[in-house]
Amino acid sequence: MSDGERKKNVLLDIAAQGRALDKILVEKSREVKSLRRNLAEPITGPDDLDNARKAAEKSVILFRLRREHQELASAQIAKKKFDGGAEVYRTCSGACGEKISDKRLAAVPWAIYCTQCQELQDQFERDEFSPVSLVEPDDT
Ligand SMILES: [Zn+2]
Protein backbone atom coordinates (compact mmCIF):
# COMPACT_ATOMS: atom_id res chain seq x y z
CA MET A 1 0.00 0.00 0.00
CA SER A 2 1.43 3.40 -0.96
CA ASP A 3 1.50 6.37 1.42
CA GLY A 4 -1.16 8.00 -0.69
CA GLU A 5 -3.48 5.05 -0.29
CA ARG A 6 -2.86 4.86 3.45
CA LYS A 7 -3.69 8.55 3.78
CA LYS A 8 -6.89 8.08 1.76
CA ASN A 9 -7.99 5.25 4.09
CA VAL A 10 -7.74 7.53 7.09
CA LEU A 11 -9.93 10.09 5.38
CA LEU A 12 -13.17 8.20 6.03
CA ASP A 13 -14.48 9.60 9.33
CA ILE A 14 -15.88 6.47 10.96
CA ALA A 15 -17.72 8.36 13.71
CA ALA A 16 -19.37 10.58 11.09
CA GLN A 17 -20.32 7.47 9.10
CA GLY A 18 -22.00 6.06 12.22
CA ARG A 19 -23.99 9.26 12.70
CA ALA A 20 -24.93 9.31 9.01
CA LEU A 21 -26.12 5.69 9.25
CA ASP A 22 -28.28 6.42 12.31
CA LYS A 23 -29.84 9.38 10.51
CA ILE A 24 -30.44 7.33 7.35
CA LEU A 25 -32.10 4.55 9.37
CA VAL A 26 -34.54 7.02 10.96
CA GLU A 27 -35.25 8.81 7.66
CA LYS A 28 -35.69 5.67 5.61
CA SER A 29 -37.98 3.92 8.07
CA ARG A 30 -40.08 7.11 8.25
CA GLU A 31 -40.18 7.26 4.44
CA VAL A 32 -41.12 3.58 4.11
CA LYS A 33 -43.95 4.04 6.65
CA SER A 34 -45.26 7.12 4.87
CA LEU A 35 -45.13 5.44 1.45
CA ARG A 36 -46.93 2.39 2.86
CA ARG A 37 -49.65 4.66 4.26
CA ASN A 38 -50.04 6.36 0.87
CA LEU A 39 -50.27 3.00 -0.82
CA ALA A 40 -52.91 1.75 1.60
CA GLU A 41 -55.29 4.64 0.86
CA PRO A 42 -58.21 3.28 -1.14
CA ILE A 43 -58.99 4.60 -4.62
CA THR A 44 -62.73 5.14 -4.32
CA GLY A 45 -63.39 8.53 -5.90
CA PRO A 46 -66.48 9.07 -8.12
CA ASP A 47 -64.32 10.32 -10.99
CA ASP A 48 -62.83 7.57 -13.24
CA LEU A 49 -60.16 9.88 -14.63
CA ASP A 50 -59.16 10.90 -11.13
CA ASN A 51 -59.06 7.27 -10.05
CA ALA A 52 -56.85 6.38 -13.02
CA ARG A 53 -54.48 9.19 -12.08
CA LYS A 54 -54.38 7.94 -8.49
CA ALA A 55 -53.68 4.39 -9.66
CA ALA A 56 -50.78 5.69 -11.76
CA GLU A 57 -49.48 7.58 -8.74
CA LYS A 58 -49.64 4.39 -6.71
CA SER A 59 -47.44 2.52 -9.16
CA VAL A 60 -44.85 5.30 -8.78
CA ILE A 61 -45.20 5.04 -4.98
CA LEU A 62 -44.78 1.26 -5.21
CA PHE A 63 -41.59 1.71 -7.21
CA ARG A 64 -40.24 4.19 -4.64
CA LEU A 65 -41.33 1.98 -1.75
CA ARG A 66 -39.46 -0.96 -3.23
CA ARG A 67 -36.27 1.09 -3.58
CA GLU A 68 -36.56 2.72 -0.13
CA HIS A 69 -37.26 -0.65 1.43
CA GLN A 70 -34.15 -2.15 -0.18
CA GLU A 71 -32.04 0.75 1.01
CA LEU A 72 -33.49 0.49 4.51
CA ALA A 73 -32.70 -3.24 4.61
CA SER A 74 -29.18 -2.44 3.42
CA ALA A 75 -28.81 0.34 6.04
CA GLN A 76 -29.91 -2.07 8.78
CA ILE A 77 -27.26 -4.57 7.70
CA ALA A 78 -24.66 -1.78 7.36
CA LYS A 79 -25.49 -0.64 10.91
CA LYS A 80 -25.08 -4.17 12.24
CA LYS A 81 -21.73 -4.40 10.45
CA PHE A 82 -20.76 -0.96 11.82
CA ASP A 83 -21.51 -2.13 15.36
CA GLY A 84 -19.18 -5.05 14.70
CA GLY A 85 -16.32 -2.60 14.16
CA ALA A 86 -14.90 -0.37 11.45
CA GLU A 87 -13.13 -3.27 9.72
CA VAL A 88 -16.34 -5.28 9.46
CA TYR A 89 -18.25 -2.21 8.23
CA ARG A 90 -15.66 -1.57 5.52
CA THR A 91 -15.56 -5.16 4.30
CA CYS A 92 -17.79 -6.13 1.37
CA SER A 93 -20.60 -8.54 2.31
CA GLY A 94 -20.39 -10.19 -1.10
CA ALA A 95 -18.33 -13.20 -2.07
CA CYS A 96 -15.16 -11.13 -2.73
CA GLY A 97 -14.58 -10.12 0.92
CA GLU A 98 -12.61 -7.09 -0.28
CA LYS A 99 -12.67 -3.59 1.22
CA ILE A 100 -15.44 -1.26 0.11
CA SER A 101 -13.76 1.92 -1.14
CA ASP A 102 -13.87 5.05 1.04
CA LYS A 103 -15.26 6.96 -1.89
CA ARG A 104 -18.20 4.57 -2.11
CA LEU A 105 -18.86 4.52 1.64
CA ALA A 106 -18.70 8.31 1.82
CA ALA A 107 -21.26 8.58 -0.99
CA VAL A 108 -23.42 5.64 0.13
CA PRO A 109 -22.99 5.11 3.92
CA TRP A 110 -25.47 2.21 3.80
CA ALA A 111 -23.44 0.32 1.18
CA ILE A 112 -22.75 -3.28 2.18
CA TYR A 113 -21.15 -4.36 -1.09
CA CYS A 114 -18.19 -3.15 -3.12
CA THR A 115 -19.11 -1.72 -6.52
CA GLN A 116 -18.50 -5.03 -8.32
CA CYS A 117 -20.62 -7.11 -5.93
CA GLN A 118 -23.32 -4.42 -5.99
CA GLU A 119 -23.52 -4.75 -9.77
CA LEU A 120 -23.93 -8.49 -9.36
CA GLN A 121 -26.57 -7.90 -6.69
CA ASP A 122 -28.45 -5.50 -8.98
CA GLN A 123 -28.46 -8.21 -11.61
CA PHE A 124 -29.93 -10.66 -9.11
CA GLU A 125 -32.57 -8.12 -8.14
CA ARG A 126 -33.61 -7.71 -11.73
CA ASP A 127 -34.26 -11.45 -11.57
CA GLU A 128 -36.31 -10.78 -8.41
CA PHE A 129 -33.91 -12.12 -5.84
CA SER A 130 -34.20 -10.63 -2.35
CA PRO A 131 -32.04 -7.54 -1.65
CA VAL A 132 -29.95 -9.45 0.87
CA SER A 133 -29.51 -12.68 -1.10
CA LEU A 134 -25.72 -12.29 -1.31
CA VAL A 135 -25.20 -11.84 2.43
CA GLU A 136 -23.61 -14.83 4.08
CA PRO A 137 -26.06 -16.32 6.58
CA ASP A 138 -25.30 -15.71 10.26
CA ASP A 139 -24.17 -18.63 12.38
CA THR A 140 -25.90 -17.13 15.41
ZN1 LIG B 1 -17.41 -7.29 -3.09
Residue 24 belongs to a domain: yes
* Assigned domain for 133 exists: no
- Residues 6 or more apart from 6 whose CB is under 8 A from it? none
How remote is the CA of residue 99 from the centroid of ligand 1, in Å? 7
16-47 confidence digits (pLDDT tens): 999 999 999 999 999 999 999 999 998 888 89
Dist. CA 109 → ligand 1 center (Å): 15
Residue 135 lies in a domain: no
- For 76-126, the pLDDT digits (tens) are 999 999 999 999 999 999 999 999 999 999 999 999 999 999 999 888 877
Whole-number Å distance, alpha carbon 101 to ligand 1 midpoint, is 10
With CA atoms as reference, report the closest residue to 78 among 13, 6, 133, 132. 132
Which contacts of 115-124 are long-range, i.e. CB under 8 A and separated by 24 or more positions? Answer: 117/92, 117/93, 118/94, 120/94, 121/94
Domain that holds residue 87: 3-126
pTM of the model: 0.76
Count how many domains the chain has: 1
The answer to whether position 99 is within a domain reads yes
